[in-house]
Amino acid sequence: MPARATPVERAIDALQKLPVGDLAARDHVRTVRSTVAVANDDEILRFLRLLDRLDVDAAQVERGLERAHATVPVERRVALAKLRQALEPVRDGVLRHLAAPPSDLRFVVDLRAALMTYVAKRADAAELAPLDDDLRAFLAARLDLGLLELRRLTWADSAALLERLARSEAVHAVRGWFDLKDRLDDDRRVYAFFHPALPGTPLVFTEVALTDEMPTSIRAILNKDAERVDAASARSATFYSISNCEPGLTGIPFGNALIKHAVEQLRLELPRLRTFATLSPLPGFAGWVRGLGERVSPEVRASLAIPGWHRSATASAELREPLLRLAARYLLAAKRGDGAPRDPVARFHLANGAQVERLDWLADPTPRGIEQSYGVMANYRYALDRYPANQLAYASSHSIDASSAVRALALADPTILEESPPAISRRAALLAAMRGVASRARKLMSRAPARA
């Protein structure tokens, strides 16, 4: 005898049949939401597996593909339209119910955040990774970039919002309320995106420092005792952090739009600003250098092996030029299999149209900065007259715009990045050439007409 369906299973079954927005669906939505709200991890996983099973009808898709290939043009359009419907997972209809007014997307956002945690930490959840892709696509389709609202956050905002801001900072940890207040000062700005589908909560935020010159060190920005700059006379705006407030929205590119919208807002507020750039980490640089092994010079490897080398004037002076040259090579030449830059922060800013403007030595001497990038940071510049063309060039061929100074550093680096092909001796090359000539001669002879 089959097991009796649970209330959630019965609710999900009903939501598959009811149109979105129907009043009869609301009781079933409440059943699902209230049950999941008090569920433990194993129960949430069971619910996620239930959603995962509500996929496309593979047999129906196969039939649709056959009709699309076999019909005349007019009928092909009809067949393709039906195929598009067949390719929509059944779960999407259920998710539309769960995210429909008077509710919002919060349930689905939190559900995806939980799923991402399970996939990352639990072996029994690994098979749910494709469901994560589907949930991300579902959320991205409902968070229209045109409805995003840019807001400058200030010390006058609610304590709950500011606490969430501090907790979500992913690049440079907030060290208490005084540190947070300093980041919200007049010569420091925080801009965030809000969306009506998730009212009252920032989706992503960026922190900006207003200065006279483009900073070369994160300490100069985060130093609470640093001399204040009159915002109205500042010439440079430096984006030094961008963080996601909603783990369930990871992978949806709000950050790309955020920087450009913040630039436009700053230009309106402070017309004397001339330079818009970032001070960014190189999170994969040190690991990449270590992976080069003996291709890195013995002198560099020996200096890096000195404990606390960055606090030694002699060791840091010896490493400055070699590591800056390697960092330039890393940003311009180290690639993934698809041809995109290896560094994730570089991919973000270059895809957004920025230029690699400058490399900064020991710009982040914190333990984390030394561990991930030997303290090197990069300034990516958002040149208003160049970033639209840069964005298209990167999208089409992963083309990288870099300043002449950065390119010169990369060209000066002597490190061989790829293993050299095996050398071929002169004798072996000669024998191979002779064999090729003999082979071509035999083919010509075999094609020649017979003579009497």
- What's the pLDDT at 67? 79
pLDDT reading at 15 higher than 70: yes
* Cis peptide preceding 344, ω within 30 of 0: no
What confidence tens digit (pLDDT) does each residue in 314-346 have? 999 999 999 999 999 999 999 999 999 999 999
β-pairing verdict for 236-244 and 275-278: parallel
Which residues sit opposite 413 in a β-bridge? none
Neighbours of 409 (CB within 10 A): 22
Please report the pLDDT score of residue 299 as a whole number.
Answer: 94
- Given a contact cutoff of 8 angstroms between Cβ atoms, the answer to whether 285 and 343 are in contact is yes
Which H or E element spans position 210? strand 204-211
Largest CA distance in the chain: 106
CB contact at 8 A, 90 and 56: yes
Per-residue pLDDT at 215 exceeds 60: yes
Antiparallel, parallel or unpaired: β 355-360 and 377-381: antiparallel
From the list 95, 369, 93, the residue with the least C-alpha distance to 222 is 369
The CATH homologous superfamily to which domain 281-412 belongs is Malonyl-CoA decarboxylase, catalytic domain (3.40.630.150)
450 has pLDDT over 70: no
Structure tokens at 213: 């010159």
100 vs 107: CA distance, rounded Å: 10
CA-to-CA distance for 99 and 105, rounded, in angstroms? 5
For the chain, the domains span 7-54+89-142, 145-278, 281-412
Instruction: Report, as residue numbers or ranges, the catalytic residues.
Output: 280, 349
Query: Which stretches within 71-128 are classed as H helix?
Result: 73-86, 90-98, 106-121
As a whole number, mean pLDDT of residues 195-219 equals 93
Task: Name the band, by pLDDT with cuts 50, 70 and 90, for residue 430.
Answer: very low
| 51 neighbors 8 (Cβ within 8 angstroms) | no
> Which pLDDT value is given to residue 2?
57
Read off the pLDDT band of 144 (50, 70, 90). Answer: confident
pTM, entire model: 0.83
Quote the mean pLDDT of the chain.
88
pLDDT (tens digit per residue) in 369-421: 999 999 999 999 999 889 899 999 999 999 999 999 999 999 999 998 874 33
CB 356 within 8 A of CB 346: yes
DSSP secondary structure of 130-178:
HHHHHHHHHHHHHS-GGG-EEEEE-TTS-HHHHHHHHHH--SS---SHH
> What is the per-residue pLDDT across 374-386, written as a single tens digit (0 to 9) for each?
999 999 999 988 9
User: Would you tell me which CATH number, out of the four given (3.20.20, 3.40.50, 1.20.140, 1.10.10), belongs to the domain 7-54+89-142?
Assistant: 1.20.140
Length of the chain: 452
Angstrom CA distances, 378 to 7, 98, 298, 354, stand at: 54, 43, 26, 12
Encode burial over 134-155: b for 16+ CB neighbours within 10 A, e otherwise: bbbebbeebbeeeebeeeebee
Mean pLDDT of 57-68: 79
Q: Which CATH class is domain 145-278?
A: alpha beta
pLDDT for residue 419:
47
> Shortest CA distance to 210 belongs to which of 226, 195, 194?
226
Identical fold for domains 145-278 and 281-412, yes or no, is: yes
